[in-house]
Structure 1
């Protein structure tokens, strides 16, 4: 909620509650002499019930309303307001209200206060009184019905105001909470009447005879609801695992993991560390800070250092719920504003290969089930990363040349055919050029310096080509000492110029070889040249599939046979 709305809510509370409460007290002048023990007993039951709220969606159901109803009937409005406000305090303490939600203290206090007053006004208007009631005549029953209906109406009215003006939600003429509110009222207010009647009959023991089952029922239902909530989280966690298993590269795995975890576990910061067990160091590979757009790329820790380093060292999950606990960790890497943190190791076999840390600026932001969820997600992440790396490795083996690391002939031809088919299906026209070249007299180089030296030349040439071409095209090893480059969306003249640049780059800078057969030399510099052929679709062929054949023909006919170390165009060779 915005700062201005927060201030407005508290100003309204200050204007309404303290002054109105003081006025009511002096106007009514309640006298509880001789009933303090009874009121304390009611307060104990109300606070105990408040500690275990029943949550249905966004609606909180409390048996407090039934107890407060009994208090109202016997002791009057002032006692009911005071005990209800005490129960509200107990509720907020039990749910560990976050700092960002402190506005709820003012909104709920004001709402309960106004509901009590409005319902009481209806009750008094219809002739209702306090003390010992027989509840057997219409004169007593009608005010009770008016009290119940009045409390529902004003409660829904105030909830709508809070929902629209405080939370910013859309207005609804028939709010979803109306049905739940009416249903729970039918259950809670009869409970209040039973409590009231039993209190009249046997006094304070009656409060606990009725109150204890109410407390027990609240505990059971609250625990059941919490269990269902955890089961829902576990189901969501399982779905995240399925999503992660679908990703075929590590980046997608990490991106999906972070997106889904942010929905499941409250956080202000998230860190994913990669561990190098050889150097016993940790490096952040993913970082999320909800208040900063930029990532944290340079954070690194060593074995045992900081919060994440301790998890690495101990090889077990860790949860800390206050800044006082966190400050005891030497070299803490978490921001000063963080007050809660959980972390789990990412295990592969018996080794820690990574660490996940989630932090919050709230005190006691996490429970044990959050840590359990994160441990499960950490296992899913470990398996997904391993699968993605295995897939990528196998993919590289099928697409990459083992010696140079460039794409191989199979990938190059499949990519060209697939890209050409995509253009045709979309009805697009785009020029495609293939630059095909062969190293001149490469057999002689192998015979002179050895095949290991020849491999060094091929590896270095691959490195130069990738650095020079970059994102402008696709470089592949065609076979042996032949290489090819696919260029998209450029004119034939530009492709010719790029081929000339490649030829010049190869010919002008010598290749330094270490593994050679020349005795007495540590390293040898050799000069290599290349004959290059260039073809462009649709300038020189009717289909992209013919490009390689046209480029190959232009290389042999136009370059090799014309003296080598030159560039030839398919336009000349045709």
Structure 2
């Protein structure tokens, strides 16, 4: 049995031990006075409407029902107030967004509300308060005591529960201060409601309730507009950050991280629409990128497929709304989903899907914000692609697609700086030249010679991998730069490479032959090796030393050899 199941069972056991027998005891000890069912029904209806119109304060939904529950307590006593509080609990739980299951939240909150009602009600009666009294001084004094005890009991229970469960516990939190401020704010309304209802009856609910509900609605609209303004500002900041990224991978990663953080999603996925299939480009789960592969699906399948086909963003607020259409990968604990197409030049390129373990995690205006962000993303991705192409043209050899001399010169300068500051121990250059390459061009043609250069470039890339940098130095000369490679290790690599090339068959077409027949040829390499700091601590000197080892130690010694620079 898991920790969550044990805690749930313990909470239900505590609830059974306290709430049902406690309700019976309260009813027997403090029975409610005679109740007018129409008045009570009016209170309950008004109470439910108040519960359905929460205000957003300090980033959380706040239900200003205290002014109704206080009036109910002053008129009907502890038992009825407990029942009203339990109704509050059920309404709030069905509308709140949290990771904890209802099976745990119901017994905990029911027990907590019961204990709060008992503590505050008993404090009121013990201090001398009377149910149904119309003495204004007593009502204000004892009623305020009722509210203060209620807030303190609420904080004590939450603090104790956090300590027991090992959560971060803080008694005087920002939320506690807001609770106390709201207590002082709504208390006069509660007293006014109670006294007005006692003298004029049900119309008092309308006279006081309608202005209060209008005020709540206006505040809710104001809070929503403030949230939209805040989200638009954040979207603009994210757009600027995306525009500063110079590679497509940086744009992708930054976009996923920022959007996931902004909308507080547990899962974020960028899905590419290509060749009639949906391919997963990025998987960001629980604030980490995941590397495992997800099989592609046809473009019209599942939630992302529907967005592609209809070109319409969607929000699903709970699993029951989307579970019958899902195809592909979605974490099993997902509840809410928000999904929007990513378009560039009026053409859909992919889909962004955000998911949360919470129900009702996303709201409608966020879909419009997400659409704006997707536009920023598409434009930034296109710009980064152009930048990468421009950089590639300036840093790469047009024929072999290896790095060119300009890039090698800059990389060598940086790596030599690492050697001189002690960040790396060694820096080795392996310089190679194709033996008798002019003869190959003369015999087979320059295009055949180019084919050999291209194939050799691919072999060098495969042999070096991520261990070093491969560059075309010029003509038929190539250079490999290794960080943290000693001279002995570089020589071993060079000798292994020399033997591999000596045995390799290069397939070329005889350009000078009228039939352009295919032929296999062999080539050999002469290789020179120089290492810093042993041979030099200057970049240009290290290149000259490797070149000297190549021509004096390998070429002049008979070619198809590996030679190390010797001072």
Q: Is the alpha carbon distance of 1:229 and 1:169 closer, same or farther for their aligned partners in structure 2, counting shifts above 3 Å? A: farther
Residue in structure 2 matched with residue 373 of structure 1 by the alignment = 369
Q: Is the alpha carbon distance of 1:145 and 1:555 closer, same or farther for their aligned partners in structure 2, counting shifts above 3 Å? A: closer
Q: How far does residue 61 in structure 1 lie from its aligned partner after superposition?
A: 4.2
Q: How far does residue 452 in structure 1 lie from its aligned partner after superposition?
A: 1.0
Q: Is the alpha carbon distance of 1:455 and 1:140 closer, same or farther for their aligned partners in structure 2, counting shifts above 3 Å? A: closer
Q: Is the alpha carbon distance of 1:369 and 1:101 closer, same or farther for their aligned partners in structure 2, counting shifts above 3 Å? A: farther
Q: How high is the TM-score relative to the length of structure 2?
A: 0.90
Aligned counterparts of 1:491 and 1:99: Cα–Cα separation in 2: 57
Q: Which runs of 5+ in 1 are unaligned?
A: none
Q: How far does residue 89 in structure 1 lie from its aligned partner after superposition?
A: 2.4
Residue in structure 2 matched with residue 399 of structure 1 by the alignment = 395
2:525 corresponds to 1:524: no
From 166, 179, 194, give the equivalent of 1:196. Answer: 194
From 260, 266, 269, give the equivalent of 1:271. Answer: 269
Q: How far does residue 309 in structure 1 lie from its aligned partner after superposition?
A: 1.9
Q: Is the alpha carbon distance of 1:533 and 1:452 closer, same or farther for their aligned partners in structure 2, counting shifts above 3 Å? A: same
Aligned counterparts of 1:126 and 1:534: Cα–Cα separation in 2: 94
Residue in structure 2 matched with residue 350 of structure 1 by the alignment = 346
2:475 corresponds to 1:480: yes
1:274–1:355 Cα contact (<8 Å) kept: yes
Q: How far does residue 433 in structure 1 lie from its aligned partner after superposition?
A: 2.5
Residue in structure 1 matched with residue 86 of structure 2 by the alignment = 85
In the TM superposition, what whole-angstrom CA distance separates every residue of 1:91-134 from its partner, at most 9, and x where no partner exists?
A: 33344666536544333333332222222222222322222514
Aligned counterparts of 1:248 and 1:536: Cα–Cα separation in 2: 33
1:345–1:356 Cα contact (<8 Å) kept: yes
Residue in structure 2 matched with residue 438 of structure 1 by the alignment = 433
Aligned counterparts of 2:535 and 2:98: Cα–Cα separation in 1: 73
2:15 corresponds to 1:13: yes
Residue in structure 1 matched with residue 46 of structure 2 by the alignment = 45
Q: SS at the partner of 2:349?
A: strand
Aligned counterparts of 1:314 and 1:428: Cα–Cα separation in 2: 55
Residue in structure 2 matched with residue 57 of structure 1 by the alignment = 58
Residue in structure 1 matched with residue 157 of structure 2 by the alignment = 158
Q: How far does residue 336 in structure 1 lie from its aligned partner after superposition?
A: 5.9
Q: Is the alpha carbon distance of 1:261 and 1:515 closer, same or farther for their aligned partners in structure 2, counting shifts above 3 Å? A: farther
Q: How far does residue 475 in structure 1 lie from its aligned partner after superposition?
A: 1.4
Residue in structure 2 matched with residue 384 of structure 1 by the alignment = 380
Aligned counterparts of 2:258 and 2:492: Cα–Cα separation in 1: 49
Q: Is the alpha carbon distance of 1:530 and 1:148 closer, same or farther for their aligned partners in structure 2, counting shifts above 3 Å? A: closer
Q: SS at the partner of 1:275?
A: strand
Residue in structure 2 matched with residue 567 of structure 1 by the alignment = 562
Aligned counterparts of 1:12 and 1:330: Cα–Cα separation in 2: 39
Aligned counterparts of 1:161 and 1:352: Cα–Cα separation in 2: 53
Q: Is the alpha carbon distance of 1:330 and 1:569 closer, same or farther for their aligned partners in structure 2, counting shifts above 3 Å? A: closer
Q: SS at the partner of 2:466?
A: helix
Q: Is the alpha carbon distance of 1:485 and 1:127 closer, same or farther for their aligned partners in structure 2, counting shifts above 3 Å? A: closer
Q: Is the alpha carbon distance of 1:59 and 1:81 closer, same or farther for their aligned partners in structure 2, counting shifts above 3 Å? A: farther
Q: Which moved more, 1:471-480 or 1:358-367?
A: 358-367
Q: How far does residue 145 in structure 1 lie from its aligned partner after superposition?
A: 4.2
Aligned counterparts of 1:540 and 1:141: Cα–Cα separation in 2: 91
1:307–1:333 Cα contact (<8 Å) kept: no
Q: Which moved more, 1:452-461 or 1:89-98?
A: 89-98
Q: Which moved more, 1:309-318 or 1:346-355?
A: 309-318
Aligned counterparts of 2:434 and 2:128: Cα–Cα separation in 1: 108
Residue in structure 1 matched with residue 30 of structure 2 by the alignment = 28
Q: How far does residue 439 in structure 1 lie from its aligned partner after superposition?
A: 1.7
1:326–1:332 Cα contact (<8 Å) kept: no
Structural mapping, 1:118-129, within 5 Å: 118-129=119-130
Q: Which moved more, 1:45-54 or 1:76-85?
A: 76-85
1:47–1:91 Cα contact (<8 Å) kept: no
Aligned counterparts of 1:80 and 1:8: Cα–Cα separation in 2: 26
Q: How high is the TM-score relative to the length of structure 1?
A: 0.89
Q: How far does residue 332 in structure 1 lie from its aligned partner after superposition?
A: 5.9
Residue in structure 1 matched with residue 182 of structure 2 by the alignment = 184
Q: How far does residue 222 in structure 1 lie from its aligned partner after superposition?
A: 2.6
Q: Which moved more, 1:376-385 or 1:397-406?
A: 376-385
Residue in structure 2 matched with residue 219 of structure 1 by the alignment = 217
Q: How far does residue 408 in structure 1 lie from its aligned partner after superposition?
A: 0.7
2:239–2:373 Cα contact (<8 Å) kept: yes
Residue in structure 2 matched with residue 463 of structure 1 by the alignment = 458
1:476–1:483 Cα contact (<8 Å) kept: yes
Q: SS at the partner of 1:471?
A: coil
Q: How far does residue 288 in structure 1 lie from its aligned partner after superposition?
A: 3.9
Residue in structure 1 matched with residue 486 of structure 2 by the alignment = 491
Aligned counterparts of 1:490 and 1:339: Cα–Cα separation in 2: 52
Q: Is the alpha carbon distance of 1:117 and 1:58 closer, same or farther for their aligned partners in structure 2, counting shifts above 3 Å? A: farther
Aligned counterparts of 1:207 and 1:429: Cα–Cα separation in 2: 79
Aligned counterparts of 2:42 and 2:60: Cα–Cα separation in 1: 27
Q: Is the alpha carbon distance of 1:444 and 1:175 closer, same or farther for their aligned partners in structure 2, counting shifts above 3 Å? A: closer
Aligned counterparts of 1:7 and 1:466: Cα–Cα separation in 2: 61
Q: How far does residue 326 in structure 1 lie from its aligned partner after superposition?
A: 2.7
Q: SS at the partner of 1:210?
A: helix
In the TM superposition, what whole-angstrom CA distance separates every residue of 1:442-493 from its partner, at most 9, and x where no partner exists?
A: 2222222221111101001111111122233321111111111223333334
Residue in structure 2 matched with residue 74 of structure 1 by the alignment = 75
From 481, 505, 508, give the equivalent of 1:510. Answer: 505
1:132–1:200 Cα contact (<8 Å) kept: no
2:415 corresponds to 1:416: no
1:54–1:218 Cα contact (<8 Å) kept: yes
In the TM superposition, what whole-angstrom CA distance separates every residue of 1:542-574 from its partner, at most 9, and x where no partner exists?
A: 534301112222322333334333333322xx5
Q: Which moved more, 1:44-53 or 1:22-31?
A: 22-31
From 222, 231, 234, give the equivalent of 1:233. Answer: 231
Q: SS at the partner of 2:560?
A: coil
